[in-house]
Structure 1
Amino acid sequence: MDPMLRQYVIRGMAQLTPATLAPEVGAFLEAHVTGETRETTAQAREQLRI
């Protein structure tokens, strides 16, 4: 998958996730982080925590 597309998917997950599912999605993102998505994943997980 194109690296930019991966980043868009990760950002979308953070923006569209209801608060009740945020911990589960955060754990999923943490388990699937790659070198190319490390920064985007960290930002998305932070957004889920807020």
Structure 2
Amino acid sequence: MARATESFADPAALARMLIALLDGLQLQWLLGAVPVDMRRELRQFPDAWTVC
């Protein structure tokens, strides 16, 4: 079984996660009562996967 850090180094996996994030944010933006700051959420995406 691959470790989690190995799957995050895969560009295709990162692209799929980004598309899923955008899809989810768009649904929240369209259907949610509370505004979603899509720019802030997208800027936080790389930080969520940074391993120090």
TM-score where L is the length of structure 2:
0.41
Higher helix share: 1
Higher-Rg structure is 2
TM-score where L is the length of structure 1:
0.43
